[in-house]
Chain A
Amino acid sequence: MKRTYADLHLRPDLRNNEQVTHMIRKASQLGYRLIAIPIPQNFPEEKIQKLQNICKENKVDFASRADLKPKTSKELIKNLRNLRRRFEITAVMCESKKVARQAAKDRRVDLLNFPSYNPQKIFFDKAEAELASNALASLEINIKPLLTLAGRARIRLLSCLRREVTIAESFHIPIVISSEASNELLMRKPREIAALTSLFDLDKSSALEAVSKNPMTIIKRNREKLSPKFVAPGIRLIRRRKDC
């Protein structure tokens, strides 16, 4: 069966319309069928509509994404309460242990992001993984630092990523690989991304799932939840009668 590839983390400059259009077109040319772009909280609705139209023209599905960078676990809960129903994906950048623990156990969080290239901020350990495995969160790994870092910094990054992947696999936490590309030249084909993940010992089939099946599952689940017909997991409204 042919895979449907998704990149859940494109970071074009949303003020630069030309760049946004070029990057969406490039994503389509590289073989992606779904992309997600982080949207600022106060971003106007008509501009989101415009993004969707550009994606439609290029035959790519668009998903809105909220990137949360809370300083405390309380701030994270507050942000999730306000934003969860407005965005199709919520990703949390875990910059402290308390935030990481809260994000891992909260079922409203889709993607856990860790600043892997900073060895003092490695919060993805076995306890974190156990919490995440009981919730719905996936581990997101961005490819951009792999391309931009060099020498010792890249060696440290690969070592951290290898550790994170081993822990995630042992706790059956889905892994999502994204590009985090901020320009066209940092975008790569799904198979190239899968080849790059071999550098941190992710096997080929898991790598291909991390750019196809795993992100698509998140989107499908969230779209179902955000649909007005959704009642509870497994229950949805089939039709409405006058007396309902």
Chain B
Amino acid sequence: MLKKMRRRYLALKIDSNETFSSRELIGTVWDAILKLYGEYGASRTGLALIDYDAEKKFAILRTAHTTVDMVRAALASITKIGDKPVAVHVLKVSGTIRALYKKIKQ
């Protein structure tokens, strides 16, 4: 029987003076994962952008629970989106979106 995929949701803070589109953000995250772990590693992450607020510079990413540290390392390795300098920090990690919002509000 196919095992149910356990997921993790990561709340991100984008540290920059510039604003970016969601396409630019997720493109940069994919590029970082590809550079560090290759296509095989990237295929294991099941990465998806769930929510993004360009004004508040806040995003939520979804990934498989086995690849949280891979995604964390890839996010830490991001120094630019396009040509603009940036740092991406993980605020919280949770198993459900609802719990993630609760943790952030605390």
Contacts and interface: CB of A to CB of B under 8 A. Distances in A.
Q: Do A and B bind each other?
A: yes
Contacts of A146: 77
B87 A187 contact: yes
Interface centre among A148, A184, A187, A189 (most CB of B within 10 A): A189
A41 interface: no
Nearest to A204: B69
Interface in B18-45: 35-36
Contacts of A196: 73, 76-77
Chain A contact surface mostly: helix
Interface residues of B, number: 17
A148 B80 CA distance: 10
Contacts of B72: 191-192, 195
Contact of A195 (B16, B35, B76, B79): B76
B75 interface: yes
A192 to B, nearest CB: 4
Contacts of B36: 199
A98 to B, nearest CB: 35
Interface string A22-63: 000000001000000000000000000000000000000000
B90 A192 contact: yes
Interface string B61-100: 0000000011011011101000001110110000000000
A147 interface: yes
B90 A189 contact: yes
A185 B79 contact: yes
B90 A147 contact: no
B86 A185 contact: yes
B53 interface: no
Given A186-B79, A186-B87, A188-B87, 20 more contacts: A30-B89, A184-B87, A185-B86, A187-B87, A188-B76, A188-B89, A189-B76, A189-B89, A189-B90, A192-B72, A192-B76, A192-B90, A193-B76, A195-B69, A195-B70, A195-B72, A195-B73, A196-B73, A196-B76, A199-B73
